[in-house]
Structure 1
Amino acid sequence: MIKNRISIPQAKKLFDLPLFELAKLADKTRAEFGHKKVTYIIDRNINYSNVCTSNCKFCYFSVPVGSKNSIRLSKAEIYKRVDEAVKLNATQIMLQGGLDPEFRLIDIIEIFKHIKKKYPNLVLHSLSAAEIDHFSKIERISYKEVIEKLKDAGLQGLPGAGAEILVDKIRQTISPKKISSSTWLHIHRIAHYSGLMSTATMVIGFGETIDDRLQHLKKVRDLQDETGGFIAFIPWIFKSKSKTKWENKIDYLKTVALSRIFFDNIPNIGASWLTVGKDVAPVALLCGANDLGSVMLEENVVASAMGQNHKPQSTEELENLIKSAGFESAQRDAFYNIIK
């Protein structure tokens, strides 16, 4: 933990600084955490279903129950994609999907057990707080029971998906059917106390204010003070295929920098090359981020929002992006340990 914690008023003043000055402070903080290399991971994000009852206004991937465009992967297809990922040296699988009434908890448990039996060293950093809530409701059991059953089946980490902005007035506008900010935090709290690590995210560009973002950051920092379970924080930029898409790159870079300074208790800050592009991501590394994310052999949700098909990046491409920012690259595992 970095000794000098900044307050919300101080954070707001820092955000008003020119990007160069803020980035310089963030880079200094990154160095204080001991990050001499910038890391990346090889993984695959497998979306088992695009059917979802949440109906978030910003999501272009999901379809309602009964849609002719629904896609539900069979267990055999999921296992095939895992096999392909392992052959390409993946060390992590992110299995996620919509809130699909036809996928039950027992299905996910069976899938997890199959994967871990065949590949015991493959890390399952999967699902989301919203999916935990969904399974809790359809199975009529507690969050803790859901998480414990999944952990027993092989789950090792909970991604930060579904956080968006942890301010309910914003959530009511963009995703009124999704879990509240307090529920998202509560589920991650339970995951941490159950022995799972997790990541936290923030999606910017929904028309939120800097005060809304700072409220989000403080809620995450406060929970981290309590549990110590967040291994990384990744701010994302909202992407849309409509003409009104939000693309304030400076604002994103300042948010990355402020996040690095603000989180004195979270070791890693990620730069999302997938949402900001390969031109901006290296700059984010100069703004305090120490991880470039994943080679990502498969991704569908963000690609759908951008109206594009996902094209996997090679390790060489990500390493070159890191080198272009003046850093040495290193491959990591799901727990941010350098493995290569």
Structure 2
Amino acid sequence: MAGGISLDTIANKVENGDRLSLDEGVYLYQDDVPLNEVAALANLVRERKNGNFGYYNINTHLNATNICVYRCNFCAFRADLREPRGYVMSDEQIVARGQEAVDNGCTEMHIVGGLHHQKKYEWYVNCLRILHDAFPTLHLKGWTAVEINWFEFLTKKPVEEVLTDLLDAGLGSMPGGGAEIFHREVRDQICEHKANSNKWFEVHGTAHKLGIKTNATMLYGHIENAFHRIDHLIRLREQQDLTGGFQTFIPLAFHPDNTKLAAMRNLKKPSVLMDLRTMAISRLMLDNFDHIKAYWIMLGIETAQTALAYGADDIDGTVRHELIYHDAGATTPEVLSVEDIRRLISETGREPVERDTLYRRVERDPANPSAWSVGEQVAVGG
């Protein structure tokens, strides 16, 4: 017991639906707190909210360029302008990626990338527009808060005006990237020049005001500690209290390969036990988030499966053409089939449910799986 905190007192609060404090969250990270008991509490919350469902979607990624003005030392994806590995996709390549997505039954395209300092704002807007014009049923989940902040710099427009431009071009929702760790002690060391935590929240809060649903993330397992992680989760929880616009939270395990940060600090990938403990604690702390995602690309397939008993209710999707985490050493497959995804969920005893980006059930034509329609919103309790 630490300062009157014990697993029993935390369990009583969880069972009663009461909110956990920062100190209680930090306590749950102690090695001597049994992980299986933390998992059981997280699973209780998970099943209150999502029953026995395990959600997935059929999606693809578009990273239109890896050339980036920022030099975040945890990133293995970015390239300099003159590096041989640097690239920029043409309009034709972008539309071809959209066609491939539609032909394979994708409901979502996840669009993020580098901040190319020689590309004008209109180029980024055009990425959305040409895809939306050609494939109006494909949901475009695009541009992190860091990218929106860059667009703000390029145009001298306020965030709301930038987001309105993107909505007009076909934006459907926003990913949660760029959050990393909010606390300045850590953020200033791993990504000192890009959008700070206040800007990240301003962008997401403004998006929520405009009716744009967004996700949230946390990059863990590098130089941060338990306090920084719980502080991060509480800031997200407070924003959700204000605006209610976050759909899902995705804890992202740091992949050290090919990153400057790992070379500087001799860092290793987080252990499976750290992955699962962080998943469970995230579910317990974020009582006002409906969904917690186990991103199989970063966690690995077996850990993502296991996470469905540690608070997660979603394992993302087929994820065609993911580059960012594979460049950082992810050894997971570059795409999973729908059959694989459904089998992975079923093997855990969960019921696989295909959802779209906005967590509505997707109905497929059995005779033509690339033909689909949107059904009812998934049921969320608690």
Q: Is the CA contact 2:300–2:332 (under 8 Å) kept in the aligned structure 1? A: no
Matched, 1:230 2:230: no
**What does residue 306 of structure 1 align with?**
329
**What does residue 4 of structure 1 align with?**
18
Equivalent residue for 1:132, pick from 119, 131, 148: 148
Q: Is the CA contact 1:299–1:310 (under 8 Å) kept in the aligned structure 2? A: no
**What does residue 367 of structure 2 align with?**
none
Distance 1:152 1:137 in 2: 20
Shift of 1:203: 1.0
1:1-340 counterparts in 2 under 5 A? 3-16=17-30, 17-241=33-257, 244-306=267-329, 311-340=334-363
Question: How has the CA–CA distance of structure 1 residues 156 and 163 changed in structure 2, closer, same or farther, with 3 Å as cutoff?
Answer: same
Shift of 1:309: 8.7
Q: Deviations over 1:142-172 (max 9, x none)?
A: 1111111001111121100111111122111
Q: Deviations over 1:285-334 (max 9, x none)?
A: 10010000121011000000007695211111111211221111111100
**What does residue 5 of structure 2 align with?**
none
> % of aligned pairs identical?
31
Q: Is the CA contact 2:293–2:314 (under 8 Å) kept in the aligned structure 1? A: yes
Aligned AA (1:174) = I
Distance 2:226 2:257 in 1: 24
Larger radius of gyration: 2
Shift of 1:73: 0.2
Is there any run of 5+ residues in structure 2 with no aligned partner, and where?
Answer: 1-15, 259-265, 364-382
Q: Is the CA contact 1:298–1:310 (under 8 Å) kept in the aligned structure 2? A: no
Q: Give the total of aligned pairs.
A: 339
Distance 1:139 1:228 in 2: 28
Distance 1:227 1:166 in 2: 19
Distance 1:178 1:124 in 2: 24
Distance 2:305 2:35 in 1: 15
Aligned AA (2:238) = D
Q: Is the CA contact 1:50–1:62 (under 8 Å) kept in the aligned structure 2? A: yes
Distance 2:347 2:35 in 1: 19
Question: How has the CA–CA distance of structure 1 residues 250 and 226 changed in structure 2, closer, same or farther, with 3 Å as cutoff?
Answer: same
Q: Is the CA contact 1:11–1:258 (under 8 Å) kept in the aligned structure 2? A: yes
Q: Is the CA contact 2:297–2:332 (under 8 Å) kept in the aligned structure 1? A: no
Query: Which contiguous aligned blocks of 4+ residues in structure 1 show a shift greater than 3 angstroms?
Result: 307-310
Distance 2:354 2:303 in 1: 20
Distance 1:73 1:109 in 2: 14
Q: Secondary structure at the match of 1:293?
A: strand
Shift of 1:100: 0.7
Aligned AA (1:78) = I
Aligned AA (1:246) = K
Segment drifting more, 162-171 vs 63-72: 63-72
TM superposition score normalised by structure 1: 0.96
Q: Deviations over 1:114-143 (max 9, x none)?
A: 222222221111111111011111112111
Distance 1:248 1:309 in 2: 16
Distance 1:35 1:231 in 2: 17
Q: Is the CA contact 1:303–1:310 (under 8 Å) kept in the aligned structure 2? A: no
Aligned AA (2:351) = E
Question: How has the CA–CA distance of structure 1 residues 31 and 307 changed in structure 2, closer, same or farther, with 3 Å as cutoff?
Answer: closer
Provide the aligned C-alpha RMSD in A: 1.6
Aligned AA (1:223) = Q
Distance 1:139 1:33 in 2: 41
TM superposition score normalised by structure 2: 0.85
Distance 1:141 1:126 in 2: 19
Aligned AA (1:301) = I
Question: How has the CA–CA distance of structure 1 residues 176 and 87 changed in structure 2, closer, same or farther, with 3 Å as cutoff?
Answer: same
Distance 2:331 2:282 in 1: 29
Aligned AA (2:26) = K
Shift of 1:102: 2.5
Q: Is the CA contact 1:43–1:296 (under 8 Å) kept in the aligned structure 2? A: yes
Aligned AA (1:227) = T
Distance 1:246 1:66 in 2: 30
